[in-house]
Chain A
Amino acid sequence: MNKITKNNLITYGIVIFAYIVFEILMLTGNLSSHLKGLLVPMTYYAVIAVALNLCVGILGELSIGHCGFMCLGAFSSAFFSKATENVLPTVPRFIIAFIIGIGVAALFGFLIGIPVLRLKGDYLAIVTLAFGEIIKNVINSFYIGIDSKGLHMNMKSAMDLNMEADGNVIVNGAMGITGTPHNANFTIGIVVLLISLFIVQNLINSRDGRAIMAIRDNYIAAEATGINVTGYKMMAFTISAAIAGAAGVLFSHNITTLTASSQYFGYNASIMILVYVVLGGIGNIRGSVIAACILYMLPELLRGLNTYRMLIYSIILIVMMIVNWSPKIIAWREKKFGKSGMFGLIGRIIFRRNKEVA
């Protein structure tokens, strides 16, 4: 019990330490404006990596459509913020936007979970991929406007909305939502990350979390032990979708033009998040935060190397994979540096396997 609490505190500590370092760098002017712009994305990718790890590592179901939930959170909250921009003050509006983004993503997570969680393994992965794409493409075809008469909506074009003169097109089809207020910042991103970590890590060490992991390890035995397998699968998937929705709220409130494009919400983006989770260690929540931050920042920091950038990035991915997963390397690491040395300590903090706590 004590050890688990300590491990959780280390995770929060790492996040807060990184926050302080970046804040100091920013205040002393050591951070270029390009890097400053990467800080918020770093936090929401860490958040969605935590969400996906809950689904892949704790529940044990491979989902590659998680960007779909992020997309839902982003659009629903941006729609709300844009529609009430002149009505509500910033703070309550942003809080309600969070509630809406999380709520919509959770609702769709629940609805999609009903058919999807009947499947297993590869089939489940393929269907989540399909749902992710469906969400993106459906959102792309909506036109929604608001005027004195209320909401107008169709799936043809902005002209067909037939609005009054004071009308305002909010969602403009594939052009998305433009001009969402920039309410998200690094501090809020870190707070959202800490809350997600708090919820997921607490969940793992609770009655429900144990039931979820029992299903992952052996669902036949879980059923025979009286665990409601379907119910707990739905619960984990819905919570995971809700956290992905929170990442989406951060996303949409940090970008000028929000479009449901493949670049941000397509399956490539979902795979990228899966890479964070796998390289951070499946089931290792702390690892996925660290991997998300490093692997998001890396290609941006390597920009100076131009064409060699992706080459180096992929080599780093391979090296990380080997260092993190190869049994021989793990044994060598422990032999060479011990479990108590400096490297061993860092190694244990970074490469800690879920198994040691779970």
Chain B
Amino acid sequence: MALLEVNNLSISFGGLRAVDNFNVQIEKGELYGLIGPNGAGKTTVFNLLTGVYKPNEGIIRLDGEDITRKSTIEINHAGIARTFQNIRLFKNMSVIDNVKVGLSEHYKYSALEGMLHIGNYKRVEKEMDDEAMRLLQVFGLDLERDYLAANLPYGKQRKLEIARAMATSPKLLLLDEPAAGMNPNETKELMDTIALVRREFNMTILLIEHDMKLVSGICEKLTVLNFGRVLCQGDTKDVLSNPEVITAYLGE
């Protein structure tokens, strides 16, 4: 059974059918790419998957569980974590605290223990610190643990956003244009980071991307969207050599 199974997903805004009959199946451990020209509906698909928009039709199943009309928070708890096209960090908080926010669903103590720093507080905070540091080390951010998130360079902000998403221990990671605004060096580093996430956490990843070098370099399978419809789906090599895709997206 596929980890993520999307059937006949559709949504309209007014008269515009932004996503029309979208289908996808992602197997566990796959790195799946979602590409398409500007305005094709890629980010709308992400917003549907994470419950920001509710679909008009269709069904979304994560690991067999129907998550179609659940809220963003419930979907996160069910196991989908995401990053954003325009980085959304908790800017006035430290790097480690950003990660600890992501951990807070899995490391719990009561509000009273938190307010008085009694009971489980010390033990659980220690465990959180250790786990957060482990994550930061994986992403090479351990030296910046006390920096404000806003003060990190752009590439590291991206990494921190992925680290925060990973802290919620998701089953599926959604990356919305992770290479947007990056120079070739940073993109190269990002590709390494994504490969690292797959290796370290055995993570299933769905990513939206414009950078064809990145897509052809790391994605195993692709779905091409155009005007809200699936144009083509399959192995990366086949998709990228499909003449229809080349006309619609890559140009002549």
Contact = CB atoms under 8 A, between A and B. Distances in A.
B143 interface: no
B168 A210 contact: no
B114 A218 contact: no
Interface residues of B, number: 40
A211 B101 contact: yes
A226 B94 contact: no
Interface in B81-120: 81-82, 84, 88-94, 97, 100-102, 104-105, 107-109, 111, 113-117
Interface in B108-135: 108-109, 111, 113-117, 121, 124-125, 128-129
Contact of B73 (A202, A210, A227, A283): A227
A207 B122 CA distance: 11
B168 A199 contact: no
Contacts of B88: 218, 220-221, 224
Interface string A195-206: 000110011011
Contact of A210 (B72, B77, B82, B104): B104
Contacts of A283: 92
A208 interface: yes
Interface string A228-241: 11000001000100
B101 A202 contact: no
A21 interface: no
Given A199-B115, A202-B115, A207-B108, A358 B77 contact: no
Given A206-B117, A214-B101, A226-B73, A221 B111 contact: no
A222 interface: yes
A211 B164 CA distance: 13
Interface residues of A, number: 34
B107 A225 contact: no
A224 B82 contact: yes
Given A206-B121, A223-B73, A226-B105, A358 B97 contact: yes
Contacts of B114: 202-203, 206-209
A226 B109 CA distance: 16
A199 B112 CA distance: 9
A206 B114 CA distance: 5
A207 B84 contact: no
B203 interface: no
Contacts of A258: none
A355 B146 CA distance: 10
A202 B117 contact: yes
Contact of A218 (B89, B111, B115): B89
Given A203-B115, A225-B101, A225-B165, A210 B93 contact: yes
A164 interface: no
B200 to A, nearest CB: 20
Interface string A266-285: 00000000000000000100
A202 B110 CA distance: 13
B81 A225 contact: yes
A210 B165 contact: no
B24 interface: no
A358 B104 contact: no
Nearest to A216: B92
A140 interface: no
A183 interface: no
A217 B93 contact: yes
Nearest to A200: B115
A1 B72 CA distance: 31
B226 interface: no
Interface in B125-175: 125, 128-129, 146, 148, 164-165, 168
B109 A355 contact: no
A55 interface: no
A354 interface: yes
Contact of A224 (B72, B94, B111, B148): B72
A138 B76 CA distance: 44
Contacts of B107: 207
A199 B81 CA distance: 32
Contacts of A216: 92
B204 interface: no
Contacts of A235: 111
A358 B93 contact: yes
Across the A-B interface, give the 10 residue pairs with the lowest CB-CB distance, nearest first. Answer: A206-B114, A226-B76, A221-B88, A217-B90, A223-B72, A214-B101, A214-B90, A207-B104, A218-B88, A226-B105
Interface of B: 50, 72-73, 76-77, 81-82, 84, 88-94, 97, 100-102, 104-105, 107-109, 111, 113-117, 121, 124-125, 128-129, 146, 148, 164-165, 168
12 contacts: A198-B116, A202-B115, A206-B114, A207-B108, A214-B90, A217-B93, A221-B90, A227-B101, A227-B104, A228-B73, A358-B94, A358-B97
Interface of A: 1, 3, 198-199, 202-203, 205-211, 213-214, 216-218, 220-229, 235, 239, 283, 354-355, 358
Given A211-B101, A213-B97, 12 more contacts: A203-B114, A206-B115, A207-B104, A214-B93, A217-B90, A220-B84, A222-B90, A225-B102, A226-B73, A226-B104, A227-B73, A235-B111
